[in-house]
Amino acid sequence: MHDVIIIGAGPCGLSAAIECRRQGLSAIIVEKNFIVHSIYLYPTHMQFFSTPELLEIGDVPFTTPNEKPFRHEALVYYRKAAEKHGLEIAAYEEATAIERLEDGKFGVHTVNRRGERQTRRAASVVISTGYFDQPNWIGIPGEDLPKVTHYFGEAHPYTGMKVAIIGGSNSAVDAALELMRVGAEVDMIYRGDSISGNIKPWVRPIFESMVQKEKIRLHLSSRVTEITEDTVVVSSVSRPETCTVDNDFVLAMTGFRPDRRLLSSIGVFMDDDMDKPVFDPATMETNIPGVYVAGVIASGRNANEIFIETGRRHGALIAGHLAGKQSARDKELN
């Protein structure tokens, strides 16, 4: 029995656990993979957009010689932050459902990597699951072929290959540049009439130069309508024009969306327009008293609505609200 069960060991879940412990609450994190799994899935050589101080949690300094930290530095940092604060983390244990128990507490049903099931009990639950497990599918023929992936690790396996990148965000641009450097033939297909306006400012001029030199073929106002074993079919968004591009691999950098099943299992309401959980932004408590959201799960369909630098603050709001509830109960007893 804990005061709080936190589901998800990303930066926002870790921050929530730290803040709860600071308020004297016993907290355990249940994580179906391992600590900061979402950051582990980032491209191997990825550099953050944020400065290190905006990624800090629990007053643990994020020291780096770089102006913007890299993925491998973040993995080390969050491991150390969890260790410094002595967080209790049940790794490789997936939360499958949440229910209200007869005594008013919550039961979180879990299954570990050995298939063993149990129900963990707590007075409150914080849902801080990420979004990398659910890519945004395009819904076109051939999207399920083995040559297609929604995840990009590093460029080396694609050396000398013909690679199509679907998307125009930072992840797509970074992948295109890495692939070009290992000698891949890169076609980048994006439905917009220009790449995202949020591209890292130190990356954009390099990318645009490579496009101008035709080292990266950029297809704007275009979309992939079919994928075959050795081609992709590219169609114009506004005109009845289609071309077939020779292809070995496809990187669908189409983004991800949060998994809402845990929220639904306990009855959390959703905003119909944006598929966003209903919660009090001052406390992060949902319409179910004692159930809170933290991090990207609190966003709507636009997962980029909440970043680490904003989601890490949710834990303090939650812990402060829980401590206030506890103080009120103690006064009633006295």
Per-residue pLDDT of the chain (334 residues), as tens digits, is: 899 999 999 999 999 999 999 999 999 999 999 999 999 999 999 888 889 999 999 999 999 999 999 999 999 999 999 999 999 999 999 999 999 999 999 999 999 999 999 999 999 999 999 777 788 899 999 999 999 999 999 999 999 999 999 999 989 999 999 999 999 999 999 999 999 888 888 899 999 999 999 999 999 999 999 999 999 999 999 888 899 999 999 999 998 877 888 998 899 998 866 678 999 999 999 999 999 999 988 887 666 566 788 889 999 999 999 998 877 776 776 6
CA 14 to centroid of chain Cα atoms: 14
Whether 148-252 and 2-133+256-333 are alike in CATH topology: the answer is: yes
Q: Which fold has domain 148-252?
A: FAD/NAD(P)-binding domain (3.50.50)
196-200 long-range Cβ contacts below 8 angstroms, 24+ apart = 196/168, 196/169, 196/170, 198/169, 198/170, 199/169, 199/170, 199/173, 200/47, 200/49, 200/170
- CATH code for 2-133+256-333? 3.50.50.60
Q: Residues 268, 245: contact at Cβ < 8 Å?
A: no
DSSP string, 178-206: HHHHTT-EEEEE-SSSS--TTS-TTTHHH
Dist CA 201 CA 104 (whole Å)? 51
Dist CA 165 CA 209 (whole Å)? 18
Where along the chain do its domains lie?
2-133+256-333, 148-252
Lookup: tokens for 121 = 């009990």
